[in-house]
Structure 1
Amino acid sequence: MANGCVQIVGCMSAFAGLICLMVATYASEWKILSHSTEVDIQVTRAIMIISIILSACGLAVVVLGMKYTLCLDKDKHVKNKVAFVGGILITVAGVCSLGIVSWYAHAVVNTQKPRPFLGKCLFLGWGGALLSITGGVLLSCCGLSQSTPRRSYTSPHSVQLASSKVYV
């Protein structure tokens, strides 16, 4: 039960991160009063789009491997491995977006000498990246924790106490 709840929280976090990354990529306020070139923004948005595609593919894979879905229900080990791979894809997407947003912020801070102004999209990108990383790690851990079969230890013989006394 707890593992299914963690999967749902991880999936919701990854989905919220995907939405934040999409809004950050689409919006135009990456910098305020900056004189940097348009090439920086194009490279950043291209890598953000790659990150969005990775995250969307990861979410699609994770849905197949979640505990509460009926897909791949016959083999639990395959289902757990699918959930693990989806979590890894989402984590990689979050790391890519975190890296490129941080690189762009570093470029803006280094080119603006009097006072750097970071746009709202950078903060939204950082938040989306952290949500994606958190969701991906949670989903990967859920996939790993169920992949090993659990053993139940029972005694092979039941022990009966023989007593001839009757207690009242």
Structure 2
Amino acid sequence: MARFNRKGVTKIVFVETIADPGYMPTLAEITGGTDYTKQIAAVEGFSISNQEIETPDMDSTFVSKIPGDDSAEDSTLTFYEDDTTDTIETELAKGTTGFILIARKGKAASTKGLDVYPVRVASNSSTVTADNEAAKLTVRFSITDRPLTNATVPAT
């Protein structure tokens, strides 16, 4: 098993529309999206968690559990703010809908590890600080439906 660092490998793309109802994008849809990878300073969330249900019974002092509802973690992308353009502020304005595609192992065709999150932008706000650091902008996303996970990047 070869280990790798996500930085320099993982790609994050925003796509406005995906025709497939199961959220499997075509190569043309991926290519037509906006690749934000180079502008991203931090990623939080973009994962699914399960709210397990406790199922105790009178036969044991052990409390077993069964899977319950799934939900998406709070998800944000923190971008480096650009002092000459407002592309992120415009393209990812509050209320914008689309899909965040995370190609965990890169965008090479036929690579497993493509996650597709249907999203709506919940907020888009700059982080103002007097610290010695690059200006940043945080975009919070609401995940609006069950994501497609661990798909194969399309070859055609």
TM-score for the superposition, normalised by structure 2: 0.24
TM-score for the superposition, normalised by structure 1: 0.23
Structure number with higher helix proportion: 1
Larger radius of gyration: 1
